[in-house]
Structure 1
Amino acid sequence: MIKKVISALIAGATLLAPASGDLSADDWQRVGDDITSGVSGIVVDGRHGDTVDALAVRDNKEPGQQRLVAVRYSRHAKPQVRAVEWQGEPPVDLEAIDAVPGREGEYVALASDGTAYRIRREKGTVLREDGALHRKRDTVRVIHEFRLPGISPDGNYEGFALARTARGTVVAVWADRGGDERPAKLTAATWNPATDAFGQPDSVEFSVPYPAEHVRHVSDVELSARGGLTVSSASDPGDDGPYDSALYAAGRLVARDDGEAELRLSATPDRLATFAGHKIEALACLPGSRTGILGTDDENDGGSVTTAAFCRP
């Protein structure tokens, strides 16, 4: 029996749009120079003209290594990168981050084993009553730690996105990256920000034709204003590369009559752009813009960010 579905309208995100072709290394700006300073996930935190403020996660595992950084990016200036302190026991191998819709300063960061961290950020500069600026540490603290539903012990989770539907519900999409002959697995479910409880998950396997070797079929995922999904895919032959990446229009998310989320992925995803020489692991769209920000984890060569026209309002 054919199930009737109603498209979910996602507020405050972006639609997919064709991006320009390959970008040269000159279009990228470094935010780190070694294996501990890549970008494995990113979320837009604000925009001021051509300047983008973002919060990025790093997939570090050892004590004392950064887990979060604030990045101020402009095409016309060197990026400003500032550490954000993780209060309490630091997580291991953070791979994605997104903002909690309707909750300013709240985010969900995802580790590769499927553990999610609901965090609240306290920025480092405050205005005192006398009008003077007072500097303090930029920190996040964990509100709640939980596991995503249906997590496989063999999975490696690299993509996560949240968005609010026109019905007022919040949906989540996450991805086990897959590898070479093993497809990625995208999963979607409704999510209640009041309780961190999920609805019934819906999972679909997903593969890309390019890159063709050492491939991670999904290295991050973004959700558009009308339920469209874009994913990044990357080739990772080792800590010294060489790397290649691509962006794809993967399909869409719809809402069933009962309000649960359903994925409809394309058997032949549309490649939007390719990026030689970088391992893209992070993407996010700027609200009200065709522009998105991309982040790389190039292992021994550090991390970089750039923008590309793969979004639209």
Structure 2
Amino acid sequence: MRRMLVGLLAVAGVLAFTPVAGAGSSWVQVGADIRSGVSGVAVVERSDRRIDALVVRDNKKPGENRIARLTWRPGRAPAVEPLAWRGELPVDLESIDPVPGRPGEYVTLASGGKGFHIKLESGAVSVLGTFTLPAGQPGDDYESFALVAQRDRTVALWADRGQDARPSTLYSAEFDVDDLTFGPARSVTFRAPSPATHVRHISDLDVTANGRLVVSSASDPGDDGPFASAVHVIGQLADGPEVTLLDKPRTMATYPGRKIEALTLLGRSGDSMLLGTDDENLGGWVRLS
């Protein structure tokens, strides 16, 4: 891990541009109703011509899809293949992230704090184990989880989404993938500079190779919107694992009309992203930015 000063200088350098509304490509629909939104996304494989990803859905009832495989060649309509879920059935999945150094393995988290270690198979995922997050604050509602390889260990980050006057609480801790256990958790609180109303301060998060923390924030006034979202750089992950927030978050882009709940950075620098939305009655959408 580079020293924190190097990381913070990288933050300043990457963001030396004027924020724009909806920068990048256009939104592409991948789900048509409230049961087919995108609440989390993780890339399986990527090339210049194709993105292969997993998306999770926040469905709660038996028989409703929990996870799907997204195959997208930019310029064409994405293909979405619902996958079978083998093992304990989750309720309200909100995030998914690859396990570092273990191809085909992922961790996905439900809003109540229960996590699932899963393995991708042909047409399905299988549950390898489950865990519960360390105790947080009363009322925590989790929408994000990320795993980071840091020297000879794995670090987990997760966040309560917050709501309006209640800031998000962002947690970090060492994570043992074999035992599915956590070291001592640390926390910081964060308020998004935008959107301004009905705001969930952290709706997803990811970390660049040099430790920059990037989050999405979303406005959700109800199942029919109108929604709005923004993506911000908010700080740095260093050894410890310590999270240091910037004095003022830096907004990378704003996205009117969409409720971003899924964000994954592409490439080591994190200068491009795959975004996904759970727009409730308006379905699910993805875009490259």
**TM-score, normalised relative to structure 1:** 0.85
In 2, Cα distance between the equivalents of 1:195 and 1:73? 34
- 1:267 matched residue in structure 2: 247
Deviations 1:49-95 (A, max 9, x none): 23111101000001111100100123200001001110133200000
Secondary structure of 1:173's aligned partner: strand
What code does the residue aligned with 1:107 have?
Y
CA shift in 2, pair 1:243/1:195, >3 Å: same
What code does the residue aligned with 1:301 have?
L
- 2:126 matched residue in structure 1: 141
In 2, Cα distance between the equivalents of 1:216 and 1:182? 9
Contact map agreement 2:233 2:250 (CA 8 A) in 1 = yes
Q: Which runs of 5+ in 1 are unaligned?
A: 125-137, 309-313
Contact map agreement 1:162 1:172 (CA 8 A) in 2 = yes
What code does the residue aligned with 2:119 have?
R
Between the two proteins, the alignment pairs up a number of residues equal to 282
54-63 vs 265-274, greater mean Cα deviation: 265-274
> Which structure carries more relative contact order (alpha carbon 8 Å, separation 6+)?
1
**TM-score, normalised relative to structure 2:** 0.92
CA shift in 2, pair 1:279/1:269, >3 Å: same
- 2:98 matched residue in structure 1: 99
CA shift in 2, pair 1:214/1:34, >3 Å: same
Q: Which runs of 5+ in 2 are unaligned?
A: none
Structure-to-structure mapping, 1:186-205, within 5 angstroms: 186-205=170-189
In 1, Cα distance between the equivalents of 2:138 and 2:212? 28
Give how far 1:48 is off.
2.6
In 2, Cα distance between the equivalents of 1:36 and 1:219? 18
CA shift in 2, pair 1:15/1:295, >3 Å: farther
The CA RMSD measured in Å over matched residues stands at 2.3
In 2, Cα distance between the equivalents of 1:109 and 1:152? 21
What code does the residue aligned with 1:298 have?
D
Secondary structure of 1:77's aligned partner: coil
In 1, Cα distance between the equivalents of 2:23 and 2:186? 38
Alignment match of 1:212 (pick from 190, 193, 196): 196
- Identity of matched residues, %: 46
Structure-to-structure mapping, 1:32-47, within 5 angstroms: 32-47=31-46
2:285 aligned with 1:285? no
What code does the residue aligned with 1:267 have?
D
In 2, Cα distance between the equivalents of 1:65 and 1:49? 33
CA shift in 2, pair 1:8/1:71, >3 Å: farther
Deviations 1:179-237 (A, max 9, x none): 00000000011112222221111100100121111000000000111111000000000
- 1:133 matched residue in structure 2: none
What code does the residue aligned with 1:179 have?
Q
In 1, Cα distance between the equivalents of 2:124 and 2:138? 31
- 2:84 matched residue in structure 1: 85
In 1, Cα distance between the equivalents of 2:186 and 2:6? 18
Secondary structure of 1:237's aligned partner: coil
Contact map agreement 2:95 2:110 (CA 8 A) in 1 = yes
Contact map agreement 1:15 1:225 (CA 8 A) in 2 = no
2:153 aligned with 1:169? yes
- 1:135 matched residue in structure 2: none
Contact map agreement 2:72 2:78 (CA 8 A) in 1 = yes
In 1, Cα distance between the equivalents of 2:203 and 2:215? 7
In 2, Cα distance between the equivalents of 1:91 and 1:233? 24
Contact map agreement 1:188 1:262 (CA 8 A) in 2 = yes
Secondary structure of 1:300's aligned partner: helix
In 1, Cα distance between the equivalents of 2:49 and 2:198? 35
Structure-to-structure mapping, 1:1-313, within 5 angstroms: 7=4, 17-18=14-15, 21-23=20-22, 27-122=26-121, 124=122, 138-165=123-150, 167-255=151-239, 260-288=240-268, 290-308=271-289
In 1, Cα distance between the equivalents of 2:140 and 2:107? 19
CA shift in 2, pair 1:92/1:121, >3 Å: same
Contact map agreement 2:94 2:108 (CA 8 A) in 1 = yes
Larger Rg: 1
Contact map agreement 2:11 2:233 (CA 8 A) in 1 = no
Give how far 1:158 is off.
0.4
